[in-house]
A and B are shown apart, each in its own frame.
Chain A
């Protein structure tokens, strides 16, 4: 246990914390956090995060804007809600992380190591927009392709056996991708949503 000693001379910039409290969904509740660590300790992929929710909240309080906005912690959240269920102070950890992720993108920050997440999100939305469905073959293929032909080939070969297994068990269909009936209508809905969002 090596806790760094408090430095009374250090000045903290509270502007960023106040901005988070006021602008991030659930941010006002973040003030209740007592740093017990049950969120990071319960997180199934907490070891993949650079900071984990508890530390990220402390960094927000400490005014570490740059580090928070480039953290991969929000992008890695899988929204399993374990932290929300277990938080003794009822802090909506998942909502805060989700909205922080949106704010990172909105304000032009790019979380480090987030290329994979962005590539996957783009592939997913491409399929959702084109068919109103996620076709796992096309999403996966597009996702792999975004890392270049060599990587596409390598990753596809690695997963070939799994894909064949899926097909054998009837878990992955072969043929044209499934689609919603009114693709035009779906696109109109999504365009309208984007327009409403851009109004702010």
Chain B
């Protein structure tokens, strides 16, 4: 089959979606439900992406199982949608109607016979940092990615195989689901259009050296705060100081930690202000005597959620401090101190806190991730610029791969991308 698209050949009507987060799932489902064959690639062991790692999410502050479960049911019911986990593209060649995508599949060491009974987890002694909790705790090297994983299947970390536990785990599984002999493999997919939904990664807080992230366990990021507040997180939902496990009753939330900064991310990540307002609500729900200070440049309560900002603002125990802090240092009592200037009254402060949450921004995964050969155009910040239909390229992007979007905007952009992809493969037929 010609892959350069110049020779005549049967055009593929299949749509490939790269990334199984909320945007990728939405785009894949919307395209599949119009009757097109769709392949959804996910690098990790489970779908759900960043949304599955939230405690609650906007607009209605639902638990992520809520929105994701509906989508998982749609996936199960749709025979046209094929989900491939542990897979990532390594190369793209060809053009609209005739792309050849080389896919690398990482070994899961567990096949589809898995009933998620947990016998392998009981048998293993190796522990690995829990990727679902951003490494805040450790998990058995044979583990369920999370409690609402899709597919509901265990995964074995390569560390356990390297420790020589493969045969032991194989023997422990009474369904023959463990396959320690699995190797990394590559295969090609022929598709007609590609939607990039590769999402984002939290901006590395170690780059913000003045905020001393690596100097104290009590300085965490906003994504880690979500895990701390989640019932399936490292603390079973108790917001405590990671250093000593005591309740975190004086909490600072620092906005624009990296975002809107020429030295880091020059753009506004858009989600962090509401995210931090939500974190203030988490803390206040848990402790009646808690105090929360939000350090901000200006609050950008995006979308229709100004009302949530007003609600949090009405709480007298939540203080809004208009200031971008200069730096954080760790005091002699081990508590982190924030130093800066309150811009309203020009007072210089040096305040100790139990817990400091850095609202780090979103960086597109495509920055460090995929480098396909054709079609992918990135802007100055690493976001994938979608090739519009008039370019006839058949390559689209949605979700945070396309720009800093919240969940509802990601889903909207996913639906738009699905429609464009459908039009692209129809035109090439």
B319: chain A residues within 8 A (beta carbon): 1
The answer on a CB contact under 8 Å between A41 and B339 is yes
Task: Number of B interface residues at 8 Å Cβ cutoff, please give it.
Answer: 26
B324 contacts which of A1, A38, A47 (Cβ < 8 Å)? A38
| Complex Cα spacing A1 to B296, Å | 13
The answer on a CB contact under 8 Å between A36 and B297 is yes
The answer on a CB contact under 8 Å between B346 and A51 is yes
The answer on a CB contact under 8 Å between B348 and A2 is no
Q: Mark A42-76, 1 if CB is under 8 A from B, else 0.
A: 11001100011011000000000000000000000
The answer on a CB contact under 8 Å between A47 and B262 is no
The answer on a CB contact under 8 Å between A38 and B326 is yes
B260 contacts which of A47, A55, A88 (Cβ < 8 Å)? A88
Identify which of residues 309-336 in chain B touch chain A, using a CB-to-CB cut-off of 8 Å. 319-327
A90: chain B residues within 8 A (beta carbon): 262-263
14 A-B pairs with C-beta separation under 8 A: A1-B319, A2-B344, A3-B344, A34-B260, A34-B297, A38-B325, A38-B326, A40-B348, A46-B348, A54-B343, A88-B261, A88-B263, A90-B262, A90-B263
A50 CB to closest chain B CB (Å) equals 10
Would you call B217 an interface residue if the criterion is a C-beta within 8 Å of the partner chain's C-beta atoms?
A: no
Q: Mark B284-299, 1 if CB is under 8 A from A, else 0.
A: 0000000000000100
Closest B residue by C-beta to A51: B346
A37 contacts which of B210, B262, B343 (Cβ < 8 Å)? B343
The answer on a CB contact under 8 Å between A88 and B324 is yes
Closest A residue by C-beta to B262: A90
The answer on a CB contact under 8 Å between B340 and A41 is yes
Would you call A86 an interface residue if the criterion is a C-beta within 8 Å of the partner chain's C-beta atoms?
A: yes
The answer on a CB contact under 8 Å between A36 and B320 is no
The answer on a CB contact under 8 Å between B322 and A52 is no
Identify which of residues 1-57 in chain A touch chain B, using a CB-to-CB cut-off of 8 Å. 1-3, 34-38, 40-43, 46-47, 51-52, 54-55
| Complex Cα spacing A85 to B344, Å | 23
Closest 9 CB pairs of A and B: A41-B340, A41-B326, A42-B326, A36-B324, A88-B261, A41-B341, A40-B341, A37-B343, A38-B324
A157 CB to closest chain B CB (Å) equals 33
Would you call A89 an interface residue if the criterion is a C-beta within 8 Å of the partner chain's C-beta atoms?
A: yes
B324: chain A residues within 8 A (beta carbon): 36-38, 41, 88
B320: chain A residues within 8 A (beta carbon): 1
Closest B residue by C-beta to A89: B262
The answer on a CB contact under 8 Å between A36 and B348 is no
B324 CB to closest chain A CB (Å) equals 4
A2: chain B residues within 8 A (beta carbon): 344-345
A37: chain B residues within 8 A (beta carbon): 322-324, 340-343
Would you call B256 an interface residue if the criterion is a C-beta within 8 Å of the partner chain's C-beta atoms?
A: yes
The answer on a CB contact under 8 Å between A52 and B297 is no
B210: chain A residues within 8 A (beta carbon): 42, 86
B315 CB to closest chain A CB (Å) equals 14
B323: chain A residues within 8 A (beta carbon): 36-37, 41
A51: chain B residues within 8 A (beta carbon): 346
Closest B residue by C-beta to A34: B297
10 extra A-B contacts, CB within 8 A, seeds A37-B322, A86-B210, A89-B262: A36-B256, A37-B342, A40-B343, A41-B323, A41-B326, A41-B327, A41-B339, A47-B348, A82-B326, A85-B263
B277 CB to closest chain A CB (Å) equals 16
The answer on a CB contact under 8 Å between A38 and B348 is no
| Complex Cα spacing A46 to B344, Å | 16
Query: By CB atoms of chain A within 10 A, which of B264, B319, B323 has the most?
Result: B323
B210 CB to closest chain A CB (Å) equals 7
| Complex Cα spacing A142 to B342, Å | 40
Identify which of residues 220-272 in chain B touch chain A, using a CB-to-CB cut-off of 8 Å. 256, 260-264
Closest A residue by C-beta to B343: A37
A41: chain B residues within 8 A (beta carbon): 323-327, 339-341, 348
B207 CB to closest chain A CB (Å) equals 13
A52: chain B residues within 8 A (beta carbon): 341, 346
A193 CB to closest chain B CB (Å) equals 35
Known: A37-B323, A42-B326, A42-B327. A54 touches B262 (CB 8 A): no
Identify which of residues 164-201 in chain B touch chain A, using a CB-to-CB cut-off of 8 Å. none
| Complex Cα spacing A3 to B321, Å | 11
Identify which of residues 392-410 in chain B touch chain A, using a CB-to-CB cut-off of 8 Å. none
B25 CB to closest chain A CB (Å) equals 35
A34: chain B residues within 8 A (beta carbon): 260, 297
Closest B residue by C-beta to A1: B344
Closest A residue by C-beta to B324: A36
Closest A residue by C-beta to B327: A42
The answer on a CB contact under 8 Å between B341 and A88 is no
A36: chain B residues within 8 A (beta carbon): 256, 297, 323-324, 343
A58 CB to closest chain B CB (Å) equals 9
B264: chain A residues within 8 A (beta carbon): 88
B260: chain A residues within 8 A (beta carbon): 34, 88
Identify which of residues 54-112 in chain A touch chain B, using a CB-to-CB cut-off of 8 Å. 54-55, 82, 85-90
Q: Mark B140-162, 1 if CB is under 8 A from A, else 0.
A: 00000000000000000000000
| Complex Cα spacing A104 to B53, Å | 56
B46 CB to closest chain A CB (Å) equals 36
| Complex Cα spacing A37 to B298, Å | 12
| Complex Cα spacing A55 to B44, Å | 49
Query: By CB atoms of chain B within 10 A, which of A41, A51, A52, A85 has the most?
Result: A41
B340: chain A residues within 8 A (beta carbon): 37-38, 41-42
Identify which of residues 78-94 in chain B touch chain A, using a CB-to-CB cut-off of 8 Å. none
